[in-house]
Structure 1
């Protein structure tokens, strides 16, 4: 039985879905687009998609690269692309702030898929769009460091992209890595998480054949390649890993910390507590702070940073 000709509304939905999936900055083939559309219930053969793309390339700002087969399609550089719904000025502002914070922590493929939205956000905050107040806000807010600012270490080309891809897809990762002892080795690892600590980015992973987690600084990776082999993600909680102090030099020991601190530098600890169970007592000149924390080198450095303003430091292992 011949296939029923799709109605106008269905064709419209197909065109909208197709336009949304044409990327910027990289090319996509008709076959890739057909597979993406099929996953959403639009069943069309590749020839039909090719004919539709040819027509759309004429009507919209779509580059149709005919230099090799299969042809590649992408939005042309100056084109605004196809974005629905339109972003408000407030949404544009939120996206611009999010881009600044999220770029190091999202897979490059995800960031690339968001490029159209980021570009629309930038266009919405351009001077001719009468968005002066929203654009000014970008110069009015900033995340500031509590420590001496450091420039981020250089990460080798392709390392973050391949690591993010392997993490996103649960693929084994092949690494060429120099450890803190200056030993250069090749490792096959199971990527479990990415964490940004100050200017550095760390990969949390398991080495092939082991079931314990380790942190590896990405700037010490010379090269990385996502394997075609996948794995079943274990029961691993990155937030718990962080809460246990694993991104600091530690053996994971939890202690009951108590110290006396002068009132002036200690006031902020009543507002930003060391732990949920923190308690304090006070006199006219100081506070006695008590809290359960993880014993780390970072904690020791923090305590020493107060000099003579902190004294009578006591550490008792939890359960002792």
Structure 2
């Protein structure tokens, strides 16, 4: 039985290596070693090198021995197991997804897509024929509405554990510190991940409680995936959690907000209203605004940011 298990593991490893050998460019044993580590396959570099030597003998794989480290790729005329040839449009889509969505993908899926991302970069390189698509990446950008901040540092190992527990619905042991710098160690039920600006939050339930909380992922010092699973609460929806203003430090309580604002400053509220029921009364130099919103610290900070340009603020519960 042990021999059969070892054979299956060897075949699985060879298959994962074959999937990651590209046709359009070369990859080194070290790069393959890192890609396999990202999806949880722990083998030493020498094992990967031995597998590559064996695969070169049995498959139409070219090893470039002109310099070290050696590069490997499928023969361009071979059907092989290389990734499907990407169109310029598909390469553009993948490049944008990697830049803006990679943190919202489960870590194991993001790692499995690494070969596609590398293929997309190669497709859009300056020596290729996809100049218009490559230039498009320079023509679009997601910009910040507030003062730009550098993203906080998040441990890759910690994030991978959080992602794994969330993906498989497993309980998670975490060690973190809160805003008061107090150290905590808790068992949580991970329910969602949300990115707000440069910060990422883990929405979870603490063991023994039936309410949800948000923990800044960069404050998690250590995360260990439990072997115990859990059933996600049917009443919980991440979209509703967001709609209730929980990421703006609110409790979901709706209030009727009214205020006066300098007309020049507040004119954009015609284009991007606060709510579906927003109403605006215009005067010579001011506007009176009324809307139903979620009461939160974020709302208060938004109003304070206008300084003397906003007055007569009222919240009716």
Q: How does 1:147-162 map to 2 (within 5 A)?
A: 147-162=146-161
- 1:250 Cα deviation (Å)? 2.5
Quote the Cα distance in structure 2 between the aligned partners of 1:59 and 1:92: 27
Normalising by structure 2, we get a TM-score of 0.76
**2:170 matched to 1:171?**
yes
Provide Cα deviations, 1:118-145, integer angstroms capped at 9, x if missing partner: 1121111112212222111111111111
Q: Which residue of 2 aligns with 1:309?
A: 309
Q: 1:251 and 1:19, CA in 2 relative to 1: closer, same or farther beyond 3 A? A: closer
Unpaired segments of 5 or more residues in structure 2? Answer: 1-14, 21-31, 39-53, 64-69, 75-80
1:79 match = 73
- Once the two structures are superposed, what CA deviation does each residue of 1:25-64 show, in whole Å capped at 9, x if it has no partner? 2179xxxxxxxxxxxxxxxxxxxxxxxxx6686324499x
- CA deviation map 1:168-197 (0-9, x unaligned): 000000111112232212111000000111
| Root-mean-square deviation over aligned CA pairs | 2.5
Provide the residue aligned with 2:19 in structure 1: 22
- Say whether the 8 Å CA contact 1:177–1:223 is kept in structure 2: yes
* Aligned CA distance change for structure 1 residues 316 and 203 (closer, same or farther; 3 Å): same
CA contact (8 A) 2:55 2:61 kept: no
Partner of 1:255: 255
Change (3 A) 1:21 1:299: farther
How far is 1:20 from its partner? 9.9
Report what 1:204 is aligned to: 203
Q: Distance in 2 between matches of 1:275 and 1:218?
A: 30
Q: CA deviation at 1:157?
A: 4.2
Q: 1:304 to 1:205 in 2, by over 3 A?
A: same
Q: How many equivalent residue pairs? A: 263
- Whether contact under 8 Å (1:19, 1:82) holds in the other structure is no
- Quote the Cα distance in structure 2 between the aligned partners of 1:57 and 1:238: 51
* 8 Å CA contact 1:20, 1:83 repeated in 2: no
| Deviation of the 1:276 alpha carbon | 1.8
1:100-115 mapped onto 2 (5 Å cutoff): 100-115=99-114
Residue 282 of structure 1 deviates from its aligned partner by 1.5
Kept in 2: contact 1:245–1:294 (CA 8 A)? yes
Measured at CA, do residues 55 and 141 of structure 1 come closer, stay the same or move farther in structure 2, by a change above 3 Å?
A: closer
CA–CA distance in structure 1, aligned partners of residues 94 and 316 of structure 2: 46
Distance 1:181 1:201, change over 3 A: same
More moved, 262-271 vs 214-223 = 262-271
Shift of 1:293: 0.6
Farther-moved stretch of structure 1 (250-259 vs 195-204): 250-259
Instruction: Tell me the SS of whatever aligns to 2:261.
Output: strand
- Aligned partners of 2:36 and 2:71: how far apart in 1? 11
Give me the whole-angstrom Cα distance separating, in 1, the residues matched to 2:309 and 2:224. Answer: 50
Provide the rounded CA distance (Å) in 2 between the counterparts of 1:164 and 1:136. Answer: 33
Q: For 1:253, what is the secondary structure of its paired residue? A: strand
Q: Following the alignment from structure 1 to structure 2, what is the Cα–Cα distance between the partners of residues 167 and 181?
A: 26
Partner of residue 289, structure 1 = 289
Cα distance between partner residues in 2 of 1:142 and 1:292:
32
Equivalence for 1:34: none
Which residue does the alignment assign to 2:51?
A: none
Q: 1:158 to 1:134 in 2, by over 3 A?
A: same
- Whether the 8 Å CA contact 1:20–1:82 is kept in 2: the answer is no
Q: 2: CA distance between counterparts of 1:199 and 1:316? A: 33
